[in-house]
Structure 1
Amino acid sequence: MLKIENVTKNYENFSLNCTLEVKKGQITGLIGQNGAGKSTTFKAILGLISMDGGTIRLLGKDIKDFSAADREDIGVVLSDSGFSGYLTINDILPVLKNLYKDFDASFFMKQVQKFQLPLTKKIKEFSTGMKAKLKVLVAISHNAKVLILDEPTSGLDVIARDDILEMLREFMEKDEERAILISSHISSDLETLCDDLYMIHEGSVILHEDTDVLLSDYALLKVNDEQFHKLDKQYLLRIKKETYGYSCLTNQKQYYMENYPDIAVDKGTIDEVIMMMIRGGKL
């Protein structure tokens, strides 16, 4: 559905070099710190910035060859874009009908009613959650095949986030030919939503893993100095010196539980994996 190969973009103080793939029927998450390269990657996919190298193929076609009709197959939410705050939903409805040939006005209006979005209130007067729901709703209302979502749940309370995640799940359930690429700072969203995750740091992908594998096989080993020196280190991805000894990130939790029953083994969350991959050192 989406394949990015060795895409590079060079700025004065930042360089992107990214390779990733989003497969049909899957939701792929892109995680990393602010400034890691997530938004730059999204803008490259959408042709909003020029590339210095590499290729991007979307729906089997080079993005350089995309027509206006091709772009109707993409649903987009960017963190720094949206509708004019002086418009209302009643104002944007005819625009959407004319913009997308497959715009489903009936579905759109049902969702507007479900989420109690006011039709005649100016968007600038919407709450943060209402604005976010409207942006995602527009993205899923024109029969898109791929969604590109940059931080769609940023700054939202738990109820608003759950509403948006439910919209995305329903979008995928309706058609197994669809796919989603999503970035988020909220690890719990990605743990329950994504099939696989890419971690980007300083412009480069440093980890790619199935979400189920990450949550089941990754762990943090908490060991003192003596235990660390006796530890088989072949399955350690990162280590970090602590006051009590060492934290060690592994993707072979079961191996250490079976062979080192006396050490503390904590389940690896996405947040902990991010922290160790960025702050931890290599052997």
Structure 2
Amino acid sequence: MLRLENVKKHYGEFSLECSLEVQAGCVTGLIGKNGAGKSTTFKAILGLIYPDGGKIEVFGKPVEKLSISDREQIGVVLSDSGFSGYLTIKDLISMLRNMYGNFREDEFLRRCKKFRLPLDKKIKEFSTGMKRKLQVLAAISHDAKLLILDEPTAGLDVIARDELLNLLREYMEQDERAILISSHISSDLEGLCDDVYMIDDGKIVMHTETDILLSDYGLLKVTDDQYQKLEKEYIIRHRKEEYGYSCLTDQKQFYMENYPGLAIEKGSIDEVMTMMIRGEK
């Protein structure tokens, strides 16, 4: 559905070097701290910036050769852009109707009503959460096959996030659809994504299935003495702490069976990301 191979982009001291793949039927997460390269990757996929090297394919075609009808099959939410604040939803409907041959107006209106979005109010008067809801509703309103979502749940409260995530799950119920999504809220990704890529300083530093991350990864909390005696073959990262060391492993079961006295915590996306970025090899 989407494939990036050695995509490069240079901005002064920052360099993006990214390879990733989003398969049909899958929700793929892209995680990393601010400035790691997530938004740059999204913009390269959408043709908003031109890479200095590498290949980007969407629907099996080079991104620069996508037809208008191909591009209509992509739904987009970007974290740093949105609709003009001087438009109303009624204005937006007219635009969407002209832009997309498959715009589902009745369904769009039904969902706007469900999310309590006023049709006649200018978008600049919407709250941040309301604006984000509108962006996502517009992205899925034209039966797109691929969604590119950069921080779609930012600014939403717990209830609104849950509603939005359920909407994305409903979207994925149809065959031959896929989502690439980034979010600072790890619980959103843990409950939605099939796999995750971690990007740091412009480079992909990890790729794993979400189920494997949550089941096999763990944090060992060990004293200095325990660390010296620890078999380190399956330690991915370690970090010095006041009490000793915190160690990230992708073989949690090995240490549970062979070191029954160790304090071992279940891994989460946040904890794994922190250790991958701040820990030492």
- Interval of TM-score (by shorter of Structure 1 and Structure 2): over 0.9
Deviation at 1:68, TM superposition (A): 2.0
State yes or no: 1:15 paired with 2:21.
no
Amino acid aligned to 1:121: K
Cα shift at 1:138: 0.4
Residue 228 of structure 2 corresponds to 229
Equivalent residue letter for 1:102: N
Kindly report which structure 2 residues correspond to 1:198-213, keeping only aligned pairs within 5 A, or say none: 198-213=197-212
Task: Quote the Cα distance in structure 2 between the aligned partners of 1:93 and 1:244.
Answer: 59
SS at the partner of 1:5?
strand
C-alpha separation in 2, matches of 1:41 and 1:124? 28
**1:235-256 deviation per Cα after TM superposition (whole angstroms, max 9, x unaligned):** 0000001111110000000000
- Residue deviations 1:100-155, cap 9 Å, x none? 00000111011011111101111111111111111000000101000000111112
Indicate conservation of the 8 Å contact 2:129/2:154, yes or no: no
Alignment-mate amino acid for residue 263 of structure 1: L
What's the CA shift for 1:222?
0.6
Q: Which residue of 2 aligns with 1:155?
A: 155
Matched residues in 2 for 1:11 and 1:112: separation?
39
Q: TM-score under structure 2 normalisation?
A: 0.99
Q: Match of 2:35?
A: 35
Whole-angstrom CA distance in 2 between matches of 1:155 and 1:111:
19
**Partner residue, 1:275:** 274
CA distance in structure 1 between the aligned counterparts of 2:13 and 2:67, rounded to whole angstroms: 33
1:194 maps to 193
TM superposition shift of 1:208: 0.3
- For residue 129 of structure 1, give the secondary structure of its aligned residue in structure 2: helix
Matched, 1:250 2:249: yes
1:4-153 counterparts in 2 under 5 A? Answer: 4-153=4-153
Instruction: Kindly indicate whether the alpha-carbon contact (under 8 Å) linking 2:132 and 2:155 is maintained by their aligned counterparts in 1.
Output: no
Distance 1:266 1:41 in 2: 32
SS in 2 for 1:133: helix
Letter in 2 for 1:46: L
1:67 offset after TM fit, Å?
2.1
Percentage identity across paired residues of the two chains: 67
Q: What are the ranges of 5 or more consecutive residues in structure 1 without an aligned counterpart?
A: none
For residues 245-274 of structure 1, what are the alpha-carbon distances to aligned partners after superposition, in whole Å with 9 as ceiling and x for unaligned? 110000000000000001100001111101
- Measure the CA separation in 1 of the matches of 2:212 and 2:109: 39
SS in 2 for 1:97: helix
Tell me the amino acid that sits aligned with residue 147 of structure 1: L
For 2:266 and 2:80, how far apart are their aligned partners in 1?
Answer: 35
Aligned residue for 2:172, secondary structure, equals helix
* SS of residue matched to 1:278: helix
* In structure 2, C-alpha distance between the alignment counterparts of 1:176 and 1:223, rounded to whole Å: 46
Determine if contact 2:223/2:243 at 8 Å carries over to the other structure. yes
Q: TM-score with structure 1 length normalisation?
A: 0.98
